[in-house]
A and B are shown apart, each in its own frame.
Chain A
Amino acid sequence: EDKEEDESKEEDNGSQQNRASRRKNYQRKNRDGKKAREEGGQKKDRGKTAPTKDQKESENKEKKTTKRGKEGEKKDRKNSTSSGSSNSSDEESLSEEELAMLKEQVEQKKKLISTMRNKPWRMVKKLSVLREAQDFVEKFEGALGKGKGKKLYAYKMMMAKKWVKFKRDFENFKTQCIPWEMKIKEVESHFGSSVASYFIFLRWMYGVNLVLFGLIFGLVIIPEILMGMPYGSLPRKTVPRAEQATAMDFSVLWDFEGYIKYSALFYGYYNNQRTIGWLKYRLPMAYFMVGISVFGYSLMVVIRSMARNANESTADGDDDNFIFSWKMFTSWDYLIGNPETADNKFASITTSFKESIVDEQESNKDENIHLRRFLRVLANVLIICCLCGSGYLIYFVVKRSQTFSKMQNVGWYERNEVEIVMSLLGMFCPPLFETIAALENYHPRIGLKWQLGRIFALFLGNLYTFLLALMDDVNEKLAEEDVVKNITHWTLLGHHNSSAGNDSTVTPPPLDPADVPRGPCWETTVGIEIVRLTVSDILVTYITILVGDFIRACFVRFVNYCWCWDLEAGFPSYAEFDISGNVLGLVFNQGMIWMGSFYAPGLVGINVLRLLTSMYFQCWAVMSSNVPHARVFKASKSNNFYMGLLLLILFLSLLPVAYTIMSLPPSFDCGPFSGKKRMYDVIQETIELDFPLFVAKIFSYVANPGLIIPAILLMVLTIYYLNAVSKAYQRANAELKKKMQMQREEEKNKRNNKASTNPMLEDLEDLLTPSTKTESPPKQAEDKKIESPNGTSPVRKPGRGEVLAGSPMASGRGAAFTPPSQAFVMQPRTLGIRASYPGQPRPWGHPLGPLPGRGRGQPCY
């Protein structure tokens, strides 16, 4: 280890020496360059002689290579060289103005350093420019500030440096903490980015759920377990006598009765004691706030990531002006690292090219439009029938299950009918929809959206029917509760009286908590329903994967040796990974979690486990038994589409929870809010008892409808205003686009005129243009070029400026490649669009420098 360190140190020294010498060289070069520039400037007036041209050329190059781009940098550079020489002579005599200028330069250098990675330079060049800039900053940072200010300034700079380093380390640390990077990458290279996008979504979801898990477990469940009353101390924390016989059955794990029902995993277990333990932890309050903040946090996270996605893709994705170009330039997925997938991709790109060509031709014809329309209407009618049917089926089943639940010994099927039916519907309806959708003959990407929308409608319909039926159930329970409440009251009273009547001196033996008659506790019932649905969903998903993917793959693989037809290519073949189905499954599962987490705090724990296992399980299943899609889709913007679905689901799952919290009375004998009229009373209670009087007053003012309604109005107005502003921006953007195009055309016309008036120039252009463009068949040309010395790459070595200066023409294309690319960056960036140069058609044709008629906003050399 020591040796290694020594070595690295030595190397360090070496590199530092290198650096120093390089720096020296660089400075010398700069000075030379400057001189040359001045010379060039002087000679400019004398007319265009050959050596001047050369010099100018080389000088241009150097200028460009060193700062390429914005004018600001150019200025900065000039300043730096001039002040570099003046400052070294006398640093003390700095006037205020100079100081300000220096400061500005230092700032500019710093900016340059921080944006260096955005420049398309070679590493060697980036390194040298970086070092130069850093040296400059180091050298002159100290000169800034006077007297006492100097120390403070130095200190501030030091802290800033430390802060940057810390941030970088933190970033490194963060990237190190991202789990499953390699796993996802492996999937990505086999299946392209679309399948991987599912796993990335899954991982993101896992992160969100971990936070929710932390909130709920840290603030509700753990405090309750540590500080709350233990099991068996209260009726609500005890299994009732009647159920005790079956409370430890194995089936408890499946239907969540028995001990699990009376545990901290469900709402009913919590006590309504205002504070618990020696910490005086306000558990009911915490329970309520956590329930709200679960939604608050989820909303915030989803919206934030949506906004970030929208920011990243500044493009208006529905822009269909560039269908062909996008297909051409952006359809290859560079992540594909597997030859088979690559073959699929080739095929899919080819078909998409062919299709779009055919589409283009067909869009002019528009034949058979009536038949297609008819088929589409028919398909939609069929699908609506399916949706209604499935909704009715679920309603029917839930109703039936309520009668079953009143009966005594019912079988396993009867008890779990709802879950089974819902899972079966979820399993069989999507393929059915897909079959029907074949009638419609949409473009696959549009087809995918329709399919997603329909499955979404199916799931949503099912979920809401389920909820409606559950609400019926809850209302029944509420009615039942009133009766039980009286019974309980009288039982307790009677017990007390009887024991008091028997013997007044002995205190009555307390009634065993298991014997107290209970209300039905609808909150726990709802929680249990949702948990059961979630668990059955998990099981069905896993079994589907196991049977539909793995067993099928095994069958196809091994039975193929002795079968009449080719199983791999023919009928069953291998399964493809169903992205849309999986994403929707995940989204709906999350909706269930959000809905259920208030009434079953333990649900999030189950979900975290589910996501964790499904990450490994699905990765394994995909790699072992799926084949890449025949038509490889890219992830594209659908990411935000998924997020939109998630947001919708979040909102929809918020509704029933908010409704139950705001308008249903909590059960009288279970849960943290028992005894209150409404659950939210807990806030009022806390404010009245725990806060000073004026807070309560402020709160009552704030909660006044007279204040809330104007606030809502204000928000609506703000939204309206912002919307209008964004529309105006969009219009302005479009206008600018149009203007630019017009200018371009204008300039082009101008150029054409000039070209026709100046045949001399044209001739020269033709002379200088190497005839590389007439290089035989494309494929061979490519191969040839790799070996041929003619295929020059834009070489960029440190000393390139001088080399080029020596032979401005000799290096031909290779050397001259660079100017146009630099010229492009040199333009000021406009709104989203970079103006193109209608300059000269062949950039290498002009060692003379820029042609007349180049765009505006450019430095002239």
Chain B
Amino acid sequence: GAMGGSASLIPRDLLGEYQELTFLSKQEILLAYKRFSELLPKEERENAWSVRVPKSQILTLPELRANPFQHRICHVFSTSETKDDSMSFEDFLDMLSVFSDSATSDIKSHYAFRIFDFDDDGTLDRKDLEQLVNCLTGQGEESRLSSAEMEQLIQNILEESDIDKDGTINLSEFQHVVSRSPDFASSFKIVL
């Protein structure tokens, strides 16, 4: 069937290597390939893995559609040289591997940090946190926090997590906090 056709397009060696390098099983990789090539126009499907899928197409995936961090996710996992956040198949696999069920919470928190680091400067500062809060509270005007509330919230968060008191949260502080959370590994998860 269609599945078999697309499956045979991944060489066996590479499939093995992908299994070695990701947290995905064979079926999941094949499914990922199928879903990925479906995002491409028909004529490009034969060589789906040398082609990059533009961001707009990636965001049509139902798994990302409702996610407030969709742009960040694309940005973090894209290896595009032109900075258009397009994704190759390998980027796509990287993403699914990190979000898979069996990925360790270490690697999950690493990528979570990079997703939340909106200005890509390696730390979460007040601006990043503010943006994060705005992402989490949605677009609606009535659901926004007032600036006083925002200030209070960020203050509290920094008090809790900023262990070295430099006004920002760095990766290890972030991982320290997140690894303690009972929910993180179960919610930082996307299944195709």
Residues of chain A having any CB pair with chain B under 8 Å: 4-5, 7-8, 11-12, 15-16, 113, 116-120, 122-124, 126-127, 130-131, 168, 171-172, 175-176, 185, 188-189, 193, 312-317, 319, 321-326, 328-339, 341-343, 346-347, 349-350, 353-354, 357, 360, 634-637, 741, 744-745, 748, 772-773, 775, 778-779, 781-783, 785-786, 789, 791-797, 813-814, 817, 820-821, 824, 827, 832-838, 841-844
What chain B residues lie within 8 Å of A319 (beta carbons)?
180
11 A-B pairs in the complex with CB atoms less than 8 angstroms apart: A8-B11, A12-B11, A123-B94, A172-B25, A332-B136, A334-B189, A335-B189, A335-B191, A346-B143, A354-B145, A821-B122
A781 touches B153 (CB 8 A): no
Choose from B68, B83, B171, B174 the contact partner of A329 (Cβ within 8 Å): B174
What chain A residues lie within 8 Å of B13 (beta carbons)?
12, 15-16
Q: Give the complex CA separation of A349 and B136 in angstroms.
A: 7
Given known A-B contacts A330-B184, A773-B127, A824-B172, A841 and B166 have beta carbons under 8 A apart: yes
Q: Is B133 an interface residue (CB 8 A)?
A: yes
Q: Give the complex CA separation of A781 and B83 in angstroms.
A: 16
A329 touches B137 (CB 8 A): no
A353 touches B164 (CB 8 A): no
A773 touches B153 (CB 8 A): no
Q: Give the complex CA separation of A794 and B25 in angstroms.
A: 28
B137 touches A346 (CB 8 A): yes
What chain B residues lie within 8 Å of A353 (beta carbons)?
133, 136-137, 145, 149, 153
What chain B residues lie within 8 Å of A116 (beta carbons)?
20-21
B177 touches A118 (CB 8 A): no
Task: Count A-B pairs with CB separation below 8 Å.
Answer: 292
Residue of A nearest to B170 (CB): A836
Q: Is B38 an interface residue (CB 8 A)?
A: no
Which interface residue of A315, A773, A785, A793 has the most chain B CB atoms within 10 A? Answer: A793
Residue of A nearest to B179 (CB): A315
B 29-66 contacts with A by CB, 8 A? 55, 62-63, 65-66
Query: Interface on chain A toward B: helix, strand, loop, or mixed SS?
Result: helix
B163 touches A117 (CB 8 A): no
A796 touches B79 (CB 8 A): yes
Given contacts A795-B81, A841-B123, 16 further A-B contacts (CB under 8 A): A113-B20, A117-B20, A122-B90, A122-B94, A126-B21, A175-B28, A323-B160, A324-B157, A324-B160, A334-B187, A335-B190, A793-B80, A796-B79, A797-B79, A824-B170, A843-B122
Residue of A nearest to B55 (CB): A786
B110 touches A130 (CB 8 A): no
Q: Give the complex CA separation of A346 and B140 in angstroms.
A: 9
Given known A-B contacts A330-B187, A333-B187, A792 and B171 have beta carbons under 8 A apart: no
Given known A-B contacts A781-B119, A834-B172, A744 and B180 have beta carbons under 8 A apart: no
User: Smallest distance from the beta carbon of B12 to chain A beta carbons, Å?
Assistant: 7
B27 touches A176 (CB 8 A): yes
B76 touches A835 (CB 8 A): no
Q: Give the complex CA separation of A669 and B28 in angstroms.
A: 58
User: Smallest distance from the beta carbon of B2 to chain A beta carbons, Å?
Assistant: 13
Q: Give the complex CA separation of A741 and B161 in angstroms.
A: 12
Given known A-B contacts A312-B185, A781-B118, A118 and B160 have beta carbons under 8 A apart: no
Q: Is B182 an interface residue (CB 8 A)?
A: yes
What chain A residues lie within 8 Å of B168 (beta carbons)?
841
Q: Is B14 an interface residue (CB 8 A)?
A: yes
